[in-house]
Chains A and B, each alone.
Chain A
Amino acid sequence: GDSVTQMEGPVTLSEEAFLTINCTYTATGYPSLFWYVQYPGEGLQLLLKATKADDKGSNKGFEATYRKETTSFHLEKGSVQVSDSAVYFCALSDSGYSTLTFGKGTMLLVSP
């Protein structure tokens, strides 16, 4: 079945540091890939997405490129802020019907 593997957290960074959160996936078809973000005590929000190979999703300074050859969708940001502290979820949609398969989430903590 489909699965998503994310690097374990927490990831602890200082403000303005470079961020990478690794995500790899297993899927039978050609999935769409997503990064969702969850701020403390809230639901999830879509951060960015890519629907086909080599697409780059970007939003709020975050980027991720859909790499079919390595089945990866790593999240990057050049300079993190304290306000980026949250849990980040990588997810895929393979079967349609919007039934997403989520990774376990990676907590990011950014200190001033």
Chain B
Amino acid sequence: DGGITQSPKYLFRKEGQNVTLSCEQNLNHDAMYWYRQDPGQGLRLIYYSQIVNDFQKGDIAEGYSVSREKKESFPLTVTSAQKNPTAFYLCASSPETGRSSTGELFFGEGSRLTVL
């Protein structure tokens, strides 16, 4: 089945450690996104990528890094510089790029990161 796979589903990290969240899609979508979800805050955009080897910062990129070496993969690294990393992280993709896109996103099931 086509879809977006995020792993791990749950992750615990000690303060000061970097951690990488995986996002893989087999939908052949060009665009991929990372959002962070906090209770009562809605979703906030961390990074997005329209094409391989290119990505842009979203609204809350500080303390995060990404790479897009393959079309189907868009891993997110939460670095020790992220002050409050405990959150639910959602990866999404879209077949549409450019200013004509309608904004429909396909989401993975999310990864819950807890910093101990």
Contact = CB atoms under 8 A, between A and B. Distances in A.
Nearest to B40: A104
Interface of B: 4, 6, 31, 33, 35, 40-45, 48, 50, 58, 90, 92, 94, 96-110
Given A43-B90, A49-B104, A98 B33 contact: yes
Contacts of B96: 98
Contact of B41 (A36, A44, A45, A104): A104
Nearest to B43: A102
Contact of B99 (A45, A46, A49, A96): A96
Given A92-B103, A100-B45, 12 more contacts: A32-B103, A36-B107, A43-B90, A43-B92, A44-B43, A89-B42, A93-B102, A97-B98, A98-B97, A98-B103, A98-B105, A99-B48
A97 B101 contact: yes
Interface in A1-51: 32, 34, 36, 41-46, 49, 51
Size band of the A side of the interface? Answer: 20 to 34
A3 B90 CA distance: 20
A42 B105 contact: no
B109 A49 contact: no
Contacts of A103: 42
Given A32-B102, A44-B90, A97 B108 contact: no
A12 to B, nearest CB: 17
Contacts of A46: 104-106
A51 B101 CA distance: 10
Contacts of A36: 107
A59 to B, nearest CB: 12
A99 B92 CA distance: 11
A41 to B, nearest CB: 8
Contact of B94 (A44, A95, A98): A98
